[in-house]
Amino acid sequence: MYDSIVIGSGAAGSVMARRLADAGERVLVLEKRPHIGGNCYDVPDAYGILIHQYGPHIFHTNEEDVFRFLSEFTDWYFFGHEVAANVHGTLLPVPFNLNTLHMVYNAAEADKLEEILIREYGEGSRVPIMRLRENPNPNIRAIAEYVYENIFLHYTMKQWGQTPEEIDAEVTARVPVLISRDNRYFQDKYQGMPKDGYTAMFHKMLSHPLITVRTSADCKDCMEFADGKVLFDGKAFDGKVVYTGALDELFDCEYGRLPYRSLDFVFEHYKEDSYQGRSVVNYTVSEKFTRITEFKYLTGQVDASGTTIVKEYPFAYTGAEGEVPYYAIINDKNLALYQKYKKKLTGFEHVYLLGRLAEYKYYNIDAIVKKALMLADEIGR
């Protein structure tokens, strides 16, 4: 009946399903949630404002093939995404860049420091904060300490419950210090939103005569993975299975749960036209939440009155009902546990793991789309 079963309909699962179907395969998509789109899912709230239910997702890429593929299913609302940090009431551009430098230091000092930074790293370069802190030049280290203390330390403590030194260096390196006057959060060529939202884009992607989508369908209710064999509806299934869910849950967390950070999203609606006048403000030295997103500035929506925002309160995922595992906590211990689960799939010839959860990785949207396209081309017909 089916050539492939894809478990999960987020970016990973949807792209995989479409690519396999385009290659002529009959694909079944099993989605545990009542909706498609994974954590990219967006939906109008009670006031008609398009919100991202699982937190702000801003698409950005330099990958032409990724952009071309997604553009088959959506038009775009392009914008250069900018973020401000609220530092004791002052809004500063983040990533910290030369404009930020001139807002923090007096003119003469900023000119001098700018010259030192450019001489040291070159104009346009991107320097992770943890690398900047290691510079022997006391002038550079002073800037690094300012950025560390006012942009990274408290935000990271909230987000991860750990200091920037304790977490994987690649995480803080996502937001490097920029030796430029570019106030954008990302420097990628394409950045913006699917014009009608992510859900519409994934809906179109999954609308294919060879794709069947079942929502509110937990794969564990109809599939079994044991002794190198996959059972589907009680019978042996010899086709391909692409699993995009959490790997520990596939095996009932028998070695204990893989650790994740989760978020509590608190949405608020205001009758005013605008709450903060911009899309995202990071609270880097105060508050219990990490950031406030005002959706209309992300989506460009103008046809609804009032405005909806969301505050993000991080906490340690426990696996309790209703919690969502958002961020893998990458360290040696957790990766070893992940590998232990992965070993359980040895012998399953046609089972593939794909995505943030299944691969226990910190993927951006474009990176997982790219990975899904590559894997589909490798395993598809």
Which residues lie near ligand UDP (CB under 6 A)? 85, 94, 151-152, 155-156, 159, 171-172, 174-175, 282, 284
Nearer to ligand UDP, 85 or 132 (CB): 85
CB of 232 to ligand UDP, least distance (A): 34
Q: Which residues of 126-156 are buried (b: 16+ CB within 10 A; e: fewer)?
A: bbbbbbbbebeeeebeebbebbbebbbbbbb
Nearer to ligand UDP, 161 or 239 (CB): 161
Does residue 232 contact residue 223 with C-beta atoms inside 8 Å? Answer: yes
Does residue 373 contact residue 262 with C-beta atoms inside 8 Å? Answer: no
Is the link from the previous residue into 93 a cis peptide, with omega within 30 of 0? no
CB of 313 to ligand UDP, least distance (A): 13
Closest Cα partner for 211 from 21, 350, 347? 21
Does residue 218 contact residue 8 with C-beta atoms inside 8 Å? Answer: no
Q: For residue 329, with 0-12 CB atoms within 10 Å meaning exposed, 13-18 middle and 19 or more buried, which class applies?
A: buried
Nearer to ligand UDP, 47 or 265 (CB): 265
Nearer to ligand UDP, 14 or 282 (CB): 282
**DSSP track, 97-139:** -HHHHHHHS-HHHHHHHHHHHHHHH-TT-EE-HHHHTT-S-HH
Nearer to ligand UDP, 28 or 179 (CB): 179
Tokens found for residue 71: 């553009």
CB of 175 to ligand UDP, least distance (A): 4
CB of 153 to ligand UDP, least distance (A): 7
Nearer to ligand UDP, 151 or 310 (CB): 151
CB of 87 to ligand UDP, least distance (A): 10
CB of 37 to ligand UDP, least distance (A): 17
- Alpha-carbon distance of 274 to 301, in angstroms, equals 12
Does residue 78 contact residue 86 with C-beta atoms inside 8 Å? Answer: no
